[in-house]
Structure 1
Amino acid sequence: MIGEKGAQYLADALVKNKTLTTLILRANDIGEKGAEHLANALLKNITLTTLDLSGNSIKSEGAQYLANAFANNTVLTTLHLFSNGICDKGAMYIASALNGKTNLTTLNLSNNNIGARGAKDLANALSNNKTITALDLAINWITDTEAQLFSDALCTNSTLTTLDFTSNQIGDNGTQCLANSLTKNTTLVELNLSVNVIGPMGAEHLAKALAINKTLTTLKLFANSVEDIGAQNFAEALINNTNTTLNTLNILRNRITAEGVEYLANALVNNTTLTTLDLSENRIPDRGAQHIANALVNNNTLTTLNLRLNKIRDEGIQHLSNALASNTTRRTLDVCGNGIAKEQNGAT
């Protein structure tokens, strides 16, 4: 680890350097003072576009230094601050900078213990900011209340394309708010709500939004509890191409059984937009695999199908193998961890 002193040396070099565009200093224990040195350098540097300070314990004080720097720097576009103990106070400083004129387009604030106060400040900033296209707020303390604030921001924001809320505390109510914003927002293309507390009702709200939304291409709901009812709702959005933009749906580990898969399979028969479907770690048996296989016979769009760690045995694999034999669309099929007999392993 280079520590504070090493950060100072690099900062001195940045003041003079005219060619470096990317600097990655992950897990180097530079602390608040190291962040201050680098921030001062950014006020003078005219070439650095990407800075990664993840895992450096810069805390709220370091965030303040950096916020001041990127608010006055005309070159930096990407800033990664994953796992730095920034907390609400640091988020406030960053939000304040985002409210002003900045060229920052990608901001990673994941795993920073950001709660209600910090999330509110960031959501308000998002309403006014005209440059951020990717915002990562995974592994924080965002609840339904804060999700509503971000929903309000999405209704007016016209630049954000990627939003990551993985591993927060967003439930069905917060999901409903975000779904409502999807019916109005025309720029967001990827939304990640994995590892939250979203159930069938939340899935229903999202599915209804998908029937209206014309821009979202990727929806990730890994490790929630949408269950068969949620799968049915998503199927209804996909069937007959009601939604014409979504190409990636991740509903890994969502308690989906053969019943839910049957709904999705029926949708896949005619859907011409979905290219990637992740159903890993659900409760899909041979009968569910048969439903999917029947859909694959006629579907020429789905190219990546993940069925890892389900309850598919030899019979289910036989159905999938027959479907692959009759349809020559180039595909990636993952059925690892399904208890398939050794002589059938080649079918994957």
Structure 2
Amino acid sequence: MLLKVLYKNITLNSLDLNSNNIIGIEGGKLLAKFLCKNTTLNSLNLGGNNLGSEGGKTLAVALCKNSTLTSLNLRSNKIGSEGGKALAHALCKNSALTSLSLQNNRLGSEGGKALGDALCKNSTLAFLNLKYNNLGSEGGKALADALCKNSKLISLNLNNNRLGSEGGKALADALCKNSTLTYLNLNSNWIGSEGGKALSDALYENTTLTSLNLQNNAFGSEGGKAIADALCKNSTLTSLDLESNDLGPEGGKALADALCSNSSLTSFNFRSNNLGLSGGYAIVDALCKNATIKNSDLRDNNLKGGEAIVDALCKNIALTSLDLRSNGLGSGEGKILANVLCKISTLTSLDLYDNKLGSEGGKALANALYKNSMLTFLNLTWNKLGPEGGKALADVLCKNSTLTSLNLESNALGSEGGQALANALCKNSTLTSLNLNSNWIGSEGGKALANALCKNSTLTSLNLQSNRLGPEGGKALTDALCKNNTLISLDLESNNLGSEGGKSLADVLYSNTSLTSLNLRFNNLGLSGGYAIVDALSKNDTLKYLDLRDNNLKVGCALFKSTLHKHNNKNFKY
């Protein structure tokens, strides 16, 4: 049916058939025939369609004849090495395609070699994604050879391909000769310290690469030092990802020295490198002198006890985004971070997920938000803020006019903290996203938040998962949804709303025209509550995502399937 429509259509230029397993091999063959004749389509997404080797081959034949398609996504189709070879052959003849994704297709080294040969001849492809294809060192070498000759490719993703040290060295040599590639992803390829050193040498000579992902490649401190030396001389790289390379304190110190002189990098990821206190301090001290780094990730580096690290951040005048997740920072560091917020006028995003700030650290940060007029995103998940920390943040929300996203998940705010935040929402006019997941707010806190939703006109996303709201809290919220017309996403998972709560929410769905996402998983809705909600869908045209899983609905599964089938939405789960 779809193909018949496509043959008649003469205006369609983009078609997205992502994850439609019904297409399969035969559907792929039919689409290939269509592409041989079509002259309007320029973008086609066939990701996740189980096309197989045969489907890949037929599409390859079509690409030899098609002259209009510029973007093709064949992600996760089990094309295999034979299908890869066929597509490589097509690239030798096709002169229209500029973007191709073959991610996760089991191409292997043979498929990689074929694509490498094709890139030596192709003069139009600019973006190529080969992530998760087990290309191995031989496939990596073939692609490296191609980069020495190809003058069109600007983006290459080789994430997770087991290139090894040899493949890494070959690509490093290619970077010395290539003058067009600007983005290269070598994440998780076991390149090792020797491969890291080779890539470092390449950075001395390469003058076009701007973004390089070397995450999870076992460089160690030696590889880190080599990269650091290269950064002192390279002046074109703007983004470097060295996450999970076990650089250690010494590697961290070397990179810190490099940052003192480098003036081109704007984004640097140091996450999970066992920098320790000394390496972490060296990095942050360097950030005080570097005026170009705007995004830095120092998560998971064991910076516990790093008051000096946090204090050093006060001197940085360029940082716009700071990620200090899971570093064991306590109330002392929290207070110093508060001082940072008062002084740094550029920071817009601060992530302190999974630290130990406590109520005192929370209060200090709240006080800083009275003075800070730039921060828009703040994540304080898992920081043991307690009711007092929650109240302090609630007070500042009554006056702060810049924060748009606040995550307070798992902070034991309790009913008092919940009620205080509810009161703040009645006055705040900028916050659009609030996450209160797992805070034991209870039915009273739920009622207070419901009252706030009747007055607030800016919040679009609210997460109240696991808050013991119960039937009463749930009913109050549903009453509020009858009046609120701005909230589009609501998460009420694990709140024991019961069948009555489900029926109340069903009544809301008949009239609410703003909610597009609703999570009701684990609420003991039962058959009556669940069916009431599903029945309401017949009159609701706005809800796009609904999760009813784990609600004791098994008895009515056939009935639910029938109703949901009519709604024809794959994002409804039960």
TM-score normalized by the length of structure 1: 0.95
1:16 aligns with 2:205: yes
Question: Is 1:123 aligned to residue 315 of structure 2?
Answer: no
Partner of 1:104: 293
Amino acid at match of 2:242: L
SS at match of 1:308: coil
Could you say which residue in structure 2 is the equivalent of 1:283? 468
Mapped to 2, the partners of 1:307 and 1:13 lie a distance apart of 52
Instruction: Tell me the number of residue pairs that the alignment of Structure 1 and Structure 2 aligns.
Output: 344
Query: Hey, what does 2:359 align to over in structure 1?
Result: 172
1:326 aligns with 2:539: no
Question: What is the SS of the residue equivalent to 1:55?
Answer: coil
Matched, 1:155 2:349: no
Q: Distance in 2 between matches of 1:45 and 1:318?
A: 63
Shift of the alpha carbon at 1:330? 4.2
Provide the residue aligned with 1:311 in structure 2. 496
TM-superposed deviation, 1:325: 1.3
Matches within 5 A, 1:60-139: 60-116=249-305, 118=306, 120-139=307-326
Answer yes or no: is the 8 Å Cα contact 2:262–2:290 preserved in 1: no
- Paired residue secondary structure (2:284): helix
Partner residue in 2 for 1:145: 332
Equivalent in the alignment of 1:268:
453
Asked if structure 2 preserves the Cα contact closer than 8 Å seen for 1:224 and 1:253, the reply is: yes
SS for the counterpart of 1:124 is: helix
Paired residues of 1:95 and 1:121 also in contact (CA < 8 A):
no
The residue type paired with residue 96 of structure 1 is D
Q: Is the 8 A contact 1:254 1:282 kept in 2?
A: yes
Question: What's 2:484 paired with?
Answer: 299
The match for 1:59 is 248
Aligned-partner SS, 1:8 = helix
Contact 1:91 1:121 in 2 (8 A): no
> C-alpha distance in 2, partners of 1:82/1:274?
32
The answer to whether the 8 A contact 1:71-1:102 is kept is: no
Confirm or deny that 1:202 pairs with 2:373: no
What is the aligned partner in structure 1 of residue 524 from structure 2? 339
Secondary structure at 1:261 match in 2: helix
Q: Which residue of the partner structure matches residue 227 of structure 1?
A: 414
Report the residue type matching 1:109 in the other structure: L
Distance 1:15 1:335 in 2: 55
Higher mean Cα deviation, 264-273 or 71-80? 71-80
Q: What is the letter of the counterpart of residue 518 of structure 2?
A: L
CA distance in 1, matches of 2:502, 2:205: 61
Q: Where does residue 181 of structure 1 map in the other structure? A: 368
8 Å contact kept, 2:285–2:313: no
Using the TM superposition, give the Cα deviation of residue 309 of structure 1 relative to its aligned residue in structure 2, in angstroms: 2.1
Q: 1:5 aligns with which of 194, 214, 239?
A: 194
- For residue 272 of structure 1, what is the amino acid of its counterpart? S
Letter in structure 2 aligned against 1:311: N
Q: Which has the higher contact order (CA 8 A, sep 6+)?
A: 1
Task: Work out which of the residue numbers 218, 243, 247 in structure 1 matches 2:428.
Answer: 243
| SS of the residue 1:76 aligns to | coil
The Cα shift of 1:121 comes to 2.5
Aligned equivalents of 1:26, 1:336: Cα separation in 2? 36
**Deviation digits for residues 53-81 of structure 1, max 9, x if unmatched?**
11111111111111122221111111111
- Whether the 8 Å contact between 1:27 and 1:56 is mirrored in structure 2 is yes
Residues 232 and 260 in structure 1, CA contact (< 8 A), matched pair in contact too = yes
The superposition leaves residues 112-137 of structure 1 with CA deviations (integer Å, 9 ceiling, x where unpaired) of: 11022x3x233222222111111111
Structure 2 counterpart of 1:172, one-letter code: S
Q: Report the secondary structure of 1:322's partner residue.
A: helix
Question: Are the aligned partners of 2:263 and 2:290 in contact in 1 as well (CA < 8 Å)?
Answer: no
Separation in 2, partners of 1:280, 1:28: 37
Report Cα offsets for 1:81-136 as digits up to 9, x if no partner. Answer: 111111110121112212213310011111111022x3x23322222211111111
Tell me the distance in 2 between the aligned counterparts of 1:70 and 1:60.
15
Given that 1:114 and 1:140 are in contact with CA atoms closer than 8 Å, whether structure 2 keeps it comes out as: yes
Gaps of 5+ in 1: none
Q: Which amino acid aligns with 1:267?
A: A
Task: Give me the TM-score of the superposition, normalised by structure 2.
Answer: 0.58
Q: Distance in 1 between matches of 2:298 and 2:416?
A: 33
Structure 2 alignment gaps of length 5 or more = 1-189, 538-545, 547-574
Q: Tell me which stretches of 4 or more aligned residues in structure 1 moved more than 6 Å.
A: none
Q: Give me the whole-angstrom Cα distance separating, in 2, the residues matched to 1:22 and 1:322.
A: 51
Deviation larger for 64-73 or 266-275: 64-73
* 8 Å contact kept, 1:78–1:104: yes
Match of 1:298, SS? coil
1:273-306: CA deviations, max 9, x gaps? 1111111122122222111111111111111111
Quote the Cα distance in structure 2 between the aligned partners of 1:246 and 1:2: 44
Structure 1 range deviating more: 322-331 or 228-237: 322-331
Q: For the Cα contact (< 8 Å) 1:73–1:102, is it kept in 2?
A: no
Distance 1:331 1:49 in 2: 38
Cα root mean square deviation, aligned: 1.4
Shift of 1:197: 1.0
